[in-house]
Chain A
Amino acid sequence: MLSDEEGDEPAASDDGGVDEFPEIDAGSDSDDPEEEYDEGEGEKESEDEEEVDEEEEEESGSDDDIHPFPRPKTVISDITKQPKRVYPEIEPDYDSDSSTEDDPNRIGNVPLHWYDDMPHIGYDMNGKKIFRPARGDELDKFLETVEDPKSWMSAFDKSLQMDKPLTAEELDIIRRLQAGEVPDASYDPYEPTVEWFTSKQEQMPLSAAPEPKRRWVPSKWEKKKVMKIVRAIRQGRIVPSKPKSTQPQFYSIWNEPADSQHPAPLPAPKPPLPTNAESYNPPEEYLPTEEERKEWEAQDKEDRERNFLPQKYSALRLVPAYDQFIQERFSRQLDLYLAPRVQRAKLQLDPDSLVPKLPSPSSLRPFPSYRALSFAHANGRARCVSVSPDGAWAVSGDEGGVVSLWEVLVGREVKRWTFGAKVGSVEWCPRTDVNFFVVGVEDHLHFVVPPNLPPSVFAATQSLLAPATLPPAPATPSPVKWVSSSTSSLDEPILTIHLPTLSGLPGQLTWHRRGDYLASVSNREGQGSVWIHQLSRRHSQAPFKKVKGSIQMVLFHPTRPDFFVATQRYVRVYNLAEQKLLKTLMPGIKWISSMDVHPSGEHLIVGGYDRKLCWFDLELSDKPYKNLRYHTKAIRSLHFHPTYPLFASSSDDGTIQVFHARVYNDLMTDPLIVPLKILRGHDIKDGLGVLQVRWCRGQPWLVSAGADGKVAVWCS
C-alpha cells in the first residue's frame, strides 16, 4: 500500500511544513500512519523538536535508501530446490513498532485501585517498586493551585498518581476543541483542489496502455443478436408493424353449430316484472298509509319486501329520477356473479292434496262426540276412573282419598269410600262372576265390593276375597301381606294387600284378562315397584329382580302370556311363562307416560310426555309404524276400546282425541287410523288436563277424569 502512495501522494506526510514539491521520503512515510493512530503520550517532545528531527531524517533518508521495504534475497530452497525470496528478520525497534511509550509504571492496563492498600503503585522497567508519591490533603491541593501559576496546565496522571504538566501540543488540542476547530493541527480543510481528470487535454496520457481493440472493432455478439432479429423478420416471424386485427369486431358467431361438449349453462333467473304498485300513477289503494311508510323506512334495506314505496304523480313530467337505479342494477349484478344459485323444482301442486284423504268421520260412527254428563269430585283432582265390566257403573278416585261409585247412565253417586291417602289408581276386576274393584292408595291395595250386588255374585266375591280357608302360605315369606277383613260391611275394603312399606303410591293397576292376576306399579323406583298378585293363591311376587330404568307402566298381553313393561325410554316385552325377554320396542319418546295394547294383541300404542304417540305393529318391527304428534301438551292416558275400533288419548292440553283405528287381519294392509273427534270440556288446572280416559265396554262411550276434579261421560 505504501508503494502506491509513493508516486501519487506526496502531501500525505504529516510533517508540519507542507512542501511545494512532493518529495519521496521513506522514513517519514513508514511511521506516519502509526503516529496518526498513536495517543498523544507517545509524542511528548515539543513540536519544534519534532520538526528538527524530521528535517534531519529527511536529509539523511533522501540519499541513502529509496526502498521502503527491505530487499529480499533470492536463495535456493533446500527442500524444493527452487529459488525463493527470503526477507530479512524484522527487528523490533522504534521503526518497526509503535511501542515508543515510556510509561515508567509497567504494571500494564490493570485498575490502579488494586494498589490502593500498597505503599507502591507499580513497578518500573527494572522491577523496582514505584512508591506512591506523597500527596497533600485538599487544602494543599488548593494552595498549590494558588501558588503555582502553571497548575492549570497540568493534569492528573493516573498511572503515576500525580499531576503532570501538559505538553504544548496537548494544550493546543484542548484549545482547538474549545474553539470548535479541527483538533488535528496538521489537517488543512482548505487544501487547494487538484484536478486530476479535467476537460483540459493533457499532453501525456495518465495510462500508457494502448487503446483496446474492443473500442473500435464492431461487437460480434451484437451482430449475432441483430442477425437473429433480421432473420426472424425475413422469415416473417416478427412483423415490424403488425396490423391491428384482421377479424371484424362482430361477425356471425352463431353460423357454425356449437361444439356440444358442454351443456349450455343455465340462464340466470330473470328479475320479477313490475306490478301495479310500481306505476307512476297507481290506483290509490296501492299508496302506503303513514304507518306503512314509517314501518318501511324503519326496516333494513335487506328486510324490505319491496325496494320502493308506491307513489302517485299526477303527470309524467313530474316523475323524478329514481335515486336507487344504479344501486339496483349493481345489486342485480352482484346477484348474478356472487349469489349461489340452486336449481329447485317448483312444486305445482295444491297444498290441500298433501293432506291425506281419509274417510269422513261421519261415516265411521258411532264415536263419542258430546259430553253426556259430568260428575264432580269436591276435593282435588280426579286421578283415576274405571268402568265395570258390564258398563253400567263407574268408579273414580281423587287425590283427596275419595273413591266414588256412580252410575254411568245418570251420573248419580251411589256410594263413597274415603281412604286416608290419595288414590293413585282404581281398576275394576274384569270377571263377571264376581264383582269388585281394586283401589291403590299409598302402600296398599284395597279390594272393595260395590253395593247392590245379586246375592250369588256377592257370595262368590266374598268367597274369593275372604275365603273361609286360606290357601297354604308360600314357603318363602313374602314382604307383601294379604289381609282379609272379617266384617261384612261394604264400607270397609274386603281385602287389603299391604305392599312393602315405602313402595309408594301404586300409580297403575292392570288386570290379566281372566281376572286372576293383578299387576301393580308403584311410583317409587327400584326393584319393588312392580308386583304381580294372584288372587286364587293370595300370593304376590315381584317379576323383576333388577330393573333397567324406572318402570312407568305394565300391561298383560290379551291373548298370550306376555307382559309389556314400559320404562322411561323403552317398552320391553317379556314372556312370563318362559321368563325371558322377547323384544325391546324403541318408540323414540323421551319419557313414556302411557301405553295400551290393542284387543287383538298385535298392536300397541305408546304415548309420551313429549306429546308423541307411537303406533307399533308388533309383528312388523320394533320401531313405530306411525308417529303422531297432535296434542299440544303431554299425553296422559291412552285406551283402546275393547270391542269398537276406537281409541282415545287424553292430554294436559285439556282435550281428548278420539281415533278410529281399524286393524286388518290381512298382514299386507296397514292399519287405518282416522282422527274422529277432539273432545273439549275439561279445564286445565295447575298445568294438568285430562288424567285418565276409559271406554265403556259394549258402548262407544268414554269416561274421563280430569285435573279439574270432574269426571265426564262422553256419548255418541
Chain B
Amino acid sequence: MGRLRQKGKAGAAKAYMTRSQAIKKLQCSLADFRRLCILKGIFPREPKNKKRANKGSSAPTTFYYAKDIAYIAHEPVLKKLREHKAFAKRLSRALGRGEWSSAKSLEENKPVYRLDHIIKERYPTFIDAVRDIDDALCMIFLFASLPSTSRVPPSLIENCARLAAEWQLYIMHTRSLRKVFFSIKGVYYQAEVMDQTVTWLVPYQFTQNIPPDVDVRVMLTFLELYQTLLGFVFFKLYTDVGLVYPPPLDMKKDEGAAGLGAFSLQDANRATLQLSIKEVDVNGKTISSRDVRQTIKSIAASGSAPTDDDALVNATVDTDADVADEDFVPHPSKSDNKDAQVLPTLNALATLPRPTSADLFAPYTFWISRETSRGIFEFLVRSFGGRIGWPASSGSGSPFEEDDESITHVIIDRPVVDRPEETPEQRERRMRRKYIQPQWIADCINAGKILLEEPYGQGKPLPPHLSPFADHADAYNPTTVSRSEDAEMAEADSDEESEANDLGDDTAEPEADKPEAPVAKVTLEDVADPAVLRAAELAAEAAGLDYGTFEKDITKLQKRAKNKANAGATEGQEEGDMNKMLMSNKQRKLYEKMKYGQRKRAAEREKLEERKRTLDKAKKRKEKT
C-alpha cells in the first residue's frame, strides 16, 4: 500500500498562501508586509484553482507564493522593521517619562535599513535596472514638482529634484534623447540608454497637491525604493561615461533658479588621476604601468625630461587624446582584405557616426520667451546640441542675452501683437530671427530633421501634434489616410467619367472593333501584373491604338477584376464560416476572441476614418463658399 496522501499537504494548498496567513507567518503588521512587498517586488499570484489553494473556499482572497513569503522571512529589512517597532516603543516610553537624554540617544541609534541588497537582488545586471527605471523616473519627476507637506518632507522633494536634474544632465550629456510628445497629461520623453528605451512622463509645471484618496504611505515606500535604485543607476551611468557622481551642485546658482545649470559635470578622469598622482607622491611606489607609459610619451613629446611631478600631472591631464591612442585599434589584416572590411568590429561599431538627429539643433541658437516652460525646452534643445538662452524672469544663468546676434530661433507661444513703437534696430533683429511655436521643437525631434518653420510660425494654427510612439499595426494613421483618401476620391471621379464613357462607347462600338485586339490579350488575372500590362501597352502602341483608349480599357478591366475578387472573397468567407463548424470548442473560443479584437480595432479605425472624411468634406465645402 502506498503512502496515504493527506489533503492540503501538497500541491496548490502548499504552494499558495493567503495574505493573512503570510502576515501571521512573518509576524509583522499589514503595513510592514505591504512595505516589504513593495520593496522586494513581490506581488500576489492567481492560482489556477482557487478552491484548491484555499482549503476548499472560493471566497475572494489574495494569494502569494509560499516560497515568496519564505523568501521575505529571511529579509534583513524585516529584521530592521521589527527593531524599529521596539525602538518606537522605547522612544515613546522615554518621551512619556520625560527622559530626554535617553530619548536623544535612542534617536541617534535609530535602526535604519539599507536597500542595496534588494536592488542587487531585483536587478542582477545593470541592464535589468535600466530597463525598469521608467516608473522610477515618473515618480521622481512627479515628486520633484510637488509642494512639501507634513507627509512629504522638503528634503525628499529636494532629493527628487536633484535626481531628476541628474538624469536630465546625463541625457543631455550623452545626447540619448530620442522622442518627445506633448500630451494632455504631461510631456513624454523617450531616451535610449544602454540600448534600452526609457520612457518617462513629466507633468506640466503646475503645483499639484496629493489628493486625499491616494495613500501617501504607499507612494513614499515606492519612492524610497526608486530613489535608491536611481542613485545606483546614475552612479553607474555617470562613472561609465567618465563623470563624477554625484555632480557637484552650486548652491548660489541653485538659489538663483539656474535649474540644470546649477550642477556642473566633472570629468572623473581628471579627478581620479589627480588623486592617483597624489598617492604616488605619498607612497613613491604604486605607479601604474599606464602612468609610466604616459609619462614616457609625454617626455618624448616634449623632448625634455620632466623635472618634477607637477609636470607629470600636467602631461597626464593634457594628453587625454593620447590615452585613446593607447587603446587597441584593429588594423585590417593584409591577407584577406575583403573579409576584414566586411566584418564590423566592436570598435568600428562604437565609432560609427551618430544618427544626424542627435546633433539636430547644433547649428542653431534658441531664445525662449518667458511664457514657454524653460525646463522642457532647455532640456530638449540642449539634448540635441543646440544653444539656448532665456530671459531673467525664467531663472538665472542664461548663457547669452536677448539681443545676442547669434540667436536664430525664438520659441514663442504668444499671439502676434503689433509693435508700433519699435526701433528699426529691433525690427531688423526681429526680421532676422525665426519665431516658432514650441511644437516645432518636438516635431523636429520626432521627425529627425529640421522641419519648415513656416506652418509653426507665431500665432498660426498649428498642424496636429502626433504621437511618435508606434501604435499597433492596423491602427488608424492620420498621415497615411489623407493620401489614400485622395486616391480614392480621384478614383471615384474617374469612375463616373468612365461610366459616362462606357455609355458613349456602346454606341461607337462597331467602329472601335479592330483595335480592341491588344487589350483583349490582357486577361482579368493579368491586370494586377505590371509586366503584362507593360507588354500589352507596347502591343497597343504597335497596333496604333492611342494611349487614352488603351488606358480606359485597362481601367475597365481592372474594375471588373476587382468586382470579381470581391465576389470571390465573399464566397471564400462563406466557406470559412462553414469550416468553423468543425473547430473544437477551445479553438472556436480563441478564434472568436481574436476576431472580436480585430473587429473592434477595425471599427475604431473605421470610425476615425469616417470622421476624417466628413471633416474634410466640410472643410472643402467651406473653402468653396
Q: In this assembly, does A249 line the interface, its C-beta being within 8 Å of a C-beta of chain B?
A: yes
Question: Across the interface, do B124 and A326 meet the contact criterion of CB distance under 8 Å?
Answer: no
Question: Across the interface, do A286 and B124 meet the contact criterion of CB distance under 8 Å?
Answer: no
Question: Across the interface, do B235 and A337 meet the contact criterion of CB distance under 8 Å?
Answer: no
A274-B469, A281-B464 given; A333·B219 CB < 8 A: yes
Question: Across the interface, do A279 and B615 meet the contact criterion of CB distance under 8 Å?
Answer: no
Mask of B116-146 contacts with A, CB within 8 angstroms, 1/0: 1001111111101101101100110010000
Closest chain A CB from B358 CB (angstroms) = 21
Question: Across the interface, do A282 and B34 meet the contact criterion of CB distance under 8 Å?
Answer: no
Q: In this assembly, does B341 line the interface, its C-beta being within 8 Å of a C-beta of chain A?
A: no
Closest 10 CB pairs of A and B: A258-B124, A321-B206, A273-B469, A351-B594, A675-B578, A285-B611, A630-B581, A340-B46, A283-B464, A281-B465
In terms of DSSP, what is the predominant structure of the interface of chain A?
A: loop
User: Can you name the residue of chain B whose Cβ is closest to the Cβ of A289?
Assistant: B611
Mask of B215-250 contacts with A, CB within 8 angstroms, 1/0: 100110010000000011011100100000110000
Question: Across the interface, do A317 and B372 meet the contact criterion of CB distance under 8 Å?
Answer: yes
A258-B124, A678-B578 given; A329·B132 CB < 8 A: no
Q: In this assembly, does B147 line the interface, its C-beta being within 8 Å of a C-beta of chain A?
A: no
Question: Across the interface, do A330 and B580 meet the contact criterion of CB distance under 8 Å?
Answer: no
Question: Across the interface, do B413 and A283 meet the contact criterion of CB distance under 8 Å?
Answer: no
Q: In this assembly, does B462 line the interface, its C-beta being within 8 Å of a C-beta of chain A?
A: yes
Q: In this assembly, does B15 line the interface, its C-beta being within 8 Å of a C-beta of chain A?
A: no
Measured in the bound complex, the distance between the Cα atoms of B214 and A329 in whole Å is 10
Contact residues in A for B575 (Cβ distance below 8 Å): 360-361
Question: Across the interface, do B583 and A356 meet the contact criterion of CB distance under 8 Å?
Answer: yes
Question: Across the interface, do A336 and B43 meet the contact criterion of CB distance under 8 Å?
Answer: yes
Q: In this assembly, does A342 line the interface, its C-beta being within 8 Å of a C-beta of chain B?
A: yes
Measured in the bound complex, the distance between the Cα atoms of B109 and A300 in whole Å is 50
Closest chain A CB from B65 CB (angstroms) = 11
Measured in the bound complex, the distance between the Cα atoms of B202 and A325 in whole Å is 10
Contact residues in B for A37 (Cβ distance below 8 Å): none
Question: Across the interface, do A264 and B128 meet the contact criterion of CB distance under 8 Å?
Answer: yes
Within 8 A of A (CB), among B538-572: none
* Most B Cβ at <10 Å: residue of A273, A276, A338: A276
Contact residues in A for B94 (Cβ distance below 8 Å): none
Chain A contacts to B: CB under 8 angstroms: 242, 247, 249-254, 258, 260, 262, 264-265, 267-268, 270, 273-276, 278-286, 308, 310-311, 313-317, 319-322, 324-330, 332-334, 336-342, 347, 351-352, 354-358, 360-361, 626, 628-630, 673, 675-676, 678
Question: Across the interface, do A326 and B210 meet the contact criterion of CB distance under 8 Å?
Answer: yes
Within 8 A of A (CB), among B72-105: none
Closest chain A CB from B412 CB (angstroms) = 10
Measured in the bound complex, the distance between the Cα atoms of B475 and A664 in whole Å is 48
Question: Across the interface, do B131 and A267 meet the contact criterion of CB distance under 8 Å?
Answer: yes
Question: Across the interface, do A284 and B185 meet the contact criterion of CB distance under 8 Å?
Answer: no
Contact residues in B for A676 (Cβ distance below 8 Å): 578
Contact residues in A for B319 (Cβ distance below 8 Å): none
* Most A Cβ at <10 Å: residue of B34, B185, B234, B437: B185
Closest chain A CB from B385 CB (angstroms) = 22
Contact residues in A for B416 (Cβ distance below 8 Å): none
Measured in the bound complex, the distance between the Cα atoms of B138 and A274 in whole Å is 14
Contact residues in A for B213 (Cβ distance below 8 Å): 327
Question: Across the interface, do A316 and B132 meet the contact criterion of CB distance under 8 Å?
Answer: no
Measured in the bound complex, the distance between the Cα atoms of B574 and A676 in whole Å is 10
Q: In this assembly, does B524 line the interface, its C-beta being within 8 Å of a C-beta of chain A?
A: no
Question: Across the interface, do B236 and A319 meet the contact criterion of CB distance under 8 Å?
Answer: no
Question: Across the interface, do A340 and B214 meet the contact criterion of CB distance under 8 Å?
Answer: no
Measured in the bound complex, the distance between the Cα atoms of B204 and A278 in whole Å is 14
User: Can you name the residue of chain B whose Cβ is closest to the Cβ of A328?
Assistant: B185
Q: In this assembly, does B467 line the interface, its C-beta being within 8 Å of a C-beta of chain A?
A: yes
Contact residues in B for A330 (Cβ distance below 8 Å): 214-215, 218-219
- Listed by A's residue number, 8 A-B pairs whose Cβ atoms lie within 8 Å are A268-B135, A275-B475, A285-B609, A317-B413, A354-B591, A354-B594, A356-B582, A360-B575
Contact residues in B for A286 (Cβ distance below 8 Å): 608
A275-B469, A286-B608, A329-B138 given; A280·B184 CB < 8 A: yes
Measured in the bound complex, the distance between the Cα atoms of B235 and A334 in whole Å is 28
Which residue of A274, A630, A673, A675 is within 8 Å of B188 (Cβ)? A274
Mask of B166-210 contacts with A, CB within 8 angstroms, 1/0: 000000000000000111111010000000000100011010101
Q: In this assembly, does B527 line the interface, its C-beta being within 8 Å of a C-beta of chain A?
A: no
Measured in the bound complex, the distance between the Cα atoms of B188 and A678 in whole Å is 55
A267-B131, A675-B582 given; A278·B437 CB < 8 A: no
Measured in the bound complex, the distance between the Cα atoms of B125 and A152 in whole Å is 108
User: Can you name the residue of chain A whose Cβ is closest to the Cβ of B223?
Assistant: A333
Question: Across the interface, do A361 and B38 meet the contact criterion of CB distance under 8 Å?
Answer: no
Question: Across the interface, do A253 and B232 meet the contact criterion of CB distance under 8 Å?
Answer: yes
Measured in the bound complex, the distance between the Cα atoms of B65 and A341 in whole Å is 12
Q: In this assembly, does B598 line the interface, its C-beta being within 8 Å of a C-beta of chain A?
A: yes
Measured in the bound complex, the distance between the Cα atoms of B98 and A703 in whole Å is 104
Contact residues in B for A328 (Cβ distance below 8 Å): 185
Question: Across the interface, do B437 and A327 meet the contact criterion of CB distance under 8 Å?
Answer: no
Question: Across the interface, do B581 and A628 meet the contact criterion of CB distance under 8 Å?
Answer: yes
Q: In this assembly, does B41 line the interface, its C-beta being within 8 Å of a C-beta of chain A?
A: yes
Q: In this assembly, does B579 line the interface, its C-beta being within 8 Å of a C-beta of chain A?
A: yes
Contact residues in B for A334 (Cβ distance below 8 Å): 218
Question: Across the interface, do A254 and B129 meet the contact criterion of CB distance under 8 Å?
Answer: yes
Mask of B22-48 contacts with A, CB within 8 angstroms, 1/0: 000000000000100110011111100
Contact residues in A for B263 (Cβ distance below 8 Å): none
Measured in the bound complex, the distance between the Cα atoms of B462 and A223 in whole Å is 86
Known contacts A253-B235, A282-B466, A356-B579; 17 additional CB pairs below 8 A are A265-B122, A267-B131, A268-B132, A268-B135, A273-B199, A278-B183, A279-B183, A280-B182, A308-B184, A317-B413, A322-B204, A324-B185, A336-B43, A337-B43, A340-B46, A361-B575, A673-B582
A258-B124, A279-B464 given; A284·B615 CB < 8 A: yes
Measured in the bound complex, the distance between the Cα atoms of B63 and A698 in whole Å is 66
Closest chain B CB from A191 CB (angstroms) = 38
User: Can you name the residue of chain A whose Cβ is closest to the Cβ of B441?
Assistant: A316
A264-B124, A274-B467, A275-B471 given; A332·B135 CB < 8 A: yes
Question: Across the interface, do A282 and B594 meet the contact criterion of CB distance under 8 Å?
Answer: no
Q: In this assembly, does B438 line the interface, its C-beta being within 8 Å of a C-beta of chain A?
A: yes
A351-B598, A355-B576 given; A279·B181 CB < 8 A: yes
A250-B235, A316-B413, A355-B576 given; A340·B465 CB < 8 A: no
Measured in the bound complex, the distance between the Cα atoms of B182 and A268 in whole Å is 25
Contact residues in A for B462 (Cβ distance below 8 Å): 281, 314-315
Within 8 A of A (CB), among B409-426: 413-414
Question: Across the interface, do A265 and B582 meet the contact criterion of CB distance under 8 Å?
Answer: no
Question: Across the interface, do A329 and B43 meet the contact criterion of CB distance under 8 Å?
Answer: no
Measured in the bound complex, the distance between the Cα atoms of B30 and A338 in whole Å is 13
Question: Across the interface, do B182 and A319 meet the contact criterion of CB distance under 8 Å?
Answer: yes
Question: Across the interface, do A321 and B184 meet the contact criterion of CB distance under 8 Å?
Answer: no
Mask of B444-470 contacts with A, CB within 8 angstroms, 1/0: 000000000000000001101111011
Measured in the bound complex, the distance between the Cα atoms of B190 and A273 in whole Å is 10
Measured in the bound complex, the distance between the Cα atoms of B38 and A338 in whole Å is 9
Q: In this assembly, does B406 line the interface, its C-beta being within 8 Å of a C-beta of chain A?
A: no
Q: In this assembly, does B478 line the interface, its C-beta being within 8 Å of a C-beta of chain A?
A: yes
Question: Across the interface, do A275 and B125 meet the contact criterion of CB distance under 8 Å?
Answer: no
User: Can you name the residue of chain B whose Cβ is closest to the Cβ of A278?
Assistant: B183
Which residue of B62, B208, B439, B590 is within 8 Å of A321 (Cβ)? B208
Question: Across the interface, do A276 and B467 meet the contact criterion of CB distance under 8 Å?
Answer: yes
Question: Across the interface, do A326 and B211 meet the contact criterion of CB distance under 8 Å?
Answer: yes
User: Can you name the residue of chain A whose Cβ is closest to the Cβ of B595?
Assistant: A351
User: Can you name the residue of chain A whose Cβ is closest to the Cβ of B116?
Assistant: A253
Q: In this assembly, does B587 line the interface, its C-beta being within 8 Å of a C-beta of chain A?
A: yes
Q: In this assembly, does B371 line the interface, its C-beta being within 8 Å of a C-beta of chain A?
A: yes
Contact residues in B for A352 (Cβ distance below 8 Å): 576
Within 8 A of A (CB), among B135-166: 135, 138-139, 142
User: Can you name the residue of chain B whose Cβ is closest to the Cβ of A677?
Assistant: B578
Contact residues in A for B612 (Cβ distance below 8 Å): 283, 285
A284-B615, A315-B437, A628-B581 given; A276·B466 CB < 8 A: yes
Question: Across the interface, do A340 and B232 meet the contact criterion of CB distance under 8 Å?
Answer: no
* Most A Cβ at <10 Å: residue of B131, B184, B239, B414: B184
